[in-house]
Structure 1
Amino acid sequence: MLKILVVEDNPELAQAYRLALSQRGHEVQIEGTGAGGARAAIQEEPDIVLLDLMLPDIDGFSVCRHIRQESDVPIIMLTARDDDGDVIGGLDSGADDYVVKPVSPGVLEARIRAVMRSRQVGQATEDTASVLAYGDLSVDLGSLVVTRGGEELELSPNELRLLMVLLEHQGQVLSREQLLARAWGSAASLDLRLVNAAVQRLRLKIEEDPADPQLLRTVRGFGYRLG
């Protein structure tokens, strides 16, 4: 059973989420405003947050950024539009995944499981090594502090998980499907645009010239390689 916080201002939709998730054995808390959702995400310590993008007081991007300042709780963004702007905006604000509404209960449950599995994979990695490094780029797996050339970098959870997978397989070409499965937990239930967006944002933070990447390279027709 998971403790799930649903931040959704549409009462009918919120109750539909509550019913569907409760029937699957989860404990569900509903918040109808961005401010209430941000407060509950920090104070109530849910296992995962389902966060609507369009809220009456504060947009979901802002709520997500506020939560990320205080908590690393998994967040799935709920959007009404399936466009790259919403996807990239949600990931850039710190969300782990996005779901386009309307969504069936089975698909929603699968996306929740995928995000939770990816967090468990990340925790297992932390328990088996102390530092992952390539050149002057490193991740301390105890503190999850990322540095390059001794300078600390601020990465989102998605960017951090992607970097950890690339560091674990440095020198190897990994397809987007492989990166999706290893960094997010399930290639079947997620979208390859998650990888594209995370690569784009990660390059902005680890490359001296993101337009001419020397660390995170694209291998055309195959995928990406670190080194």
Structure 2
Amino acid sequence: MCAYVMVAEDDEKQAELIRRSLLSEGHTATVVHDGGAALAAARERRPDLVVLDLMLPVIDGFGVCRALRRDDDIPVLMLTARSTEEDVLLGLELGADDYMTKPYSPRELMARVRTVLRRSGRQTSGHRDDPVVRAAGIAVDPVRHEVVCDGSPVDCTPAEYEILLAMAAEPDRVFSRQQLLRRTRGIDRASTERAVDVHIMNLRKKTEADPRRPVRLLTVFGVGYKLSGYGAGGGPG
């Protein structure tokens, strides 16, 4: 069983690097870019761990950690460029379980994540044996970079793969086109929100029995798209 990790990091490139590293470890992850969004997301769905940058807009990391500790006992791994002794001590006094300073290696960060989860009792010993993300009859393997739908391999472009991985990691979450577009940054810098519609259309052709009446990749009109956890079991089109 994997852990659900929330990454609160205002640097989008850093946040995406952390998210991908977590997925490769078999965890699910969501990313927010300011302190207010972090608290709202934590209240909506309680994470097993928060990877928390201190230099967040709206509410800084210290304020987020203070609020999380007041409301619940959610493990916190602080991540920041600030490395003075006062900052470290304040973070730990507020209840942070660990503290890493930038720059850092993703490998070291994942080792710290495993340690914090193990100490908190939120990590099962076998979760790394199966890093595959599954939802709605679709399995996305972030290690082998493979997609299987209803037992059959699916040939995806890099951008399609990243979009499907993000949606499978959080089934039933509605993603805006802009959020999905950010998943493809670095793959196709010329992509636009319209390109997301094309990627979704192509994914439906590859994963839906009837792409014109999808039961997996659903449109949420006026907002974006979601991968329905109901999926192949039947559901709204």
Normalised TM-score (structure 1): 0.51
SS of 1:17's equivalent in the other structure is: helix
Residue pairs, 1:70-149, within 5 angstroms: 70-120=71-121
Tell whether 2:30 aligns with 1:18.
no
Q: What secondary structure does 1:50 align onto? A: strand
CA shift, 1:56, in A, is 1.3
Output one character per residue of 1:125-160: Cα deviation in whole Å (capped at 9) or x when no partner: xxxxxxxxxxxxxxxxxxxxxxxxxxxxxxxxxxxx
CA separation in 2, counterparts of 1:15 and 1:26?
14
CA distance in 2, matches of 1:18, 1:113: 14
1:88 is displaced (CA, Å) by 0.6
Give 3-state SS (helix, strand or coil) of 1:115's partner: helix
Instruction: Work out the CA distance in 2 between the residues paired with 1:19 and 1:69.
Output: 30
User: Is contact 1:7–1:30 with CA below 8 Å preserved after alignment?
Assistant: yes
Kindly, what percent of the aligned residue pairs are identical? 45
Mark the runs of 5 or more structure 1 residues left unpaired by the alignment: 122-227
Closer/same/farther in 2, CA of residues 90 and 9 from structure 1, 3 Å limit: same
Deviations 1:96-122 (A, max 9, x none): 11111222121111111111222239x
CA contact (8 A) 2:8 2:38 kept: yes
CA distance in 1, matches of 2:104, 2:64: 22
Q: Contact conserved, 2:7 with 2:30, CA < 8 A, in 1?
A: yes
Q: Is the 1:5–1:29 contact (alpha carbons within 8 Å) kept by the matching residues of 2?
A: yes
Unpaired segments of 5 or more residues in structure 2? 123-237
Alignment partners' CA distance in 2, 1:118 and 1:17: 20
Distance 2:103 2:46 in 1: 26
Q: Secondary structure at the match of 1:9?
A: coil
Residue matched to 1:43: 44
Distance across 2 between alignment mates of 1:116 and 1:49? 10
Give the match's secondary structure for 1:28: strand
Q: Which runs of 4+ in 1 moved over 3 A?
A: none
**How far, CA to CA, are the matches of 1:42 and 1:111 in structure 2?**
24
SS in 2 for 1:98: strand
Deviation at 1:29, TM superposition (A): 0.2
Contact 1:6 1:29 (8 Å CA) reproduced: yes
C-alpha distance in 1 between matches for 2:82 and 2:69: 23
Q: Is the 8 A contact 2:55 2:61 kept in 1?
A: yes
Does 2:18 correspond to 1:4?
A: no
Contact 1:47 1:74 (8 Å CA) reproduced: yes
Counterparts in 2 of 1:51-62, with a 5 A limit? 51-62=52-63
2:63 is aligned with 1:66? no
Normalised TM-score (structure 2): 0.49
Question: How many residues are treated as equivalent by the alignment?
Answer: 121
CA–CA distance in 2 between the matches of 1:73 and 1:39?
A: 14
- Cα distance between partner residues in 2 of 1:31 and 1:120: 24
RMSD of aligned residue pairs (Cα, Å): 1.5
| Kept in 2: contact 1:54–1:60 (CA 8 A) | yes
